[in-house]
A and B are shown apart, each in its own frame.
Chain A
Amino acid sequence: VQLVGSGGGLIQPGGSLRLSCAASGFSVSTNYMSWVRQAPGKGLEWVSVIHSDGNTDYADSVKGRFIISRDNSNNTLFLQMNSLRAEDTALYFCAKSRLRRSFDIWGQGALVTVSS
């Protein structure tokens, strides 16, 4: 049972980037799946969730700019990040929810750096 994230990198302000998170040992389609980020030297911030029924939600800080989605056939979670800002610079973790309430499986994190 694991999550393997990828897709991070250096991007200019205003640019776009897509993160991926491949799951094994469980199905992303039947679980609540989230993205959680951590700015350098800072704490954890929840970013977005996709429910098992496909509904989505976002933190106010990213609403309208980020889109969470999943590919059930490839058992992969995605985060499309648009209109990136310097304050989006962070390590982005994908995470599986345990009974919706907590996060029991975490990916290793993908570093996103927004800078000119």
Chain B
Amino acid sequence: IVLTQSPGTLSLSPGERATLSCRASQSISSSYLAWYQQKPGQAPRLLIYGASTRATGIPDRFSGSGSGTDFTLTISRLESEDFAVYYCQHYGSSLRYTFGQGTTLEIK
């Protein structure tokens, strides 16, 4: 299964709403779809698992949705610390893990 994220780069201003897409090459269970945030020089941080459940300590401005082949990460009101790279990830029936190529969220 290939995960394709779009857009590659998203330029927005603080306070705006961000919508990031992750499309799977075939239908997947939402239970196995996660989202991560990575800032420069840091390890990734788990944001969302099971497509829509926020991980511990993640602010409620982050939300995930979707099913089948189309999944979305939404950040309702961007704060300065949200500008980073975001990855979706799937755990498949092959018992292997796949990441999307990432979306860079940059300050406009």
Contact = CB atoms under 8 A, between A and B. Distances in A.
12 contacts: A43-B99, A43-B101, A44-B102, A46-B96, A57-B95, A98-B49, A101-B49, A101-B50, A102-B34, A102-B46, A102-B49, A104-B49
Interface residues of B, number: 23
B15 interface: no
A43 B32 contact: no
A7 interface: no
Given A101-B31, A101-B91, A104-B55, A44 B43 contact: no
Interface residues of A, number: 20
B9 interface: no
B83 interface: no
Interface of B: 31-32, 34, 36, 38, 43-46, 49-50, 55, 87, 89, 91, 95-102
B91 A102 contact: yes
Contacts of A106: 43-45
Contacts of A101: 31-32, 34, 49-50, 91
Nearest to B89: A102
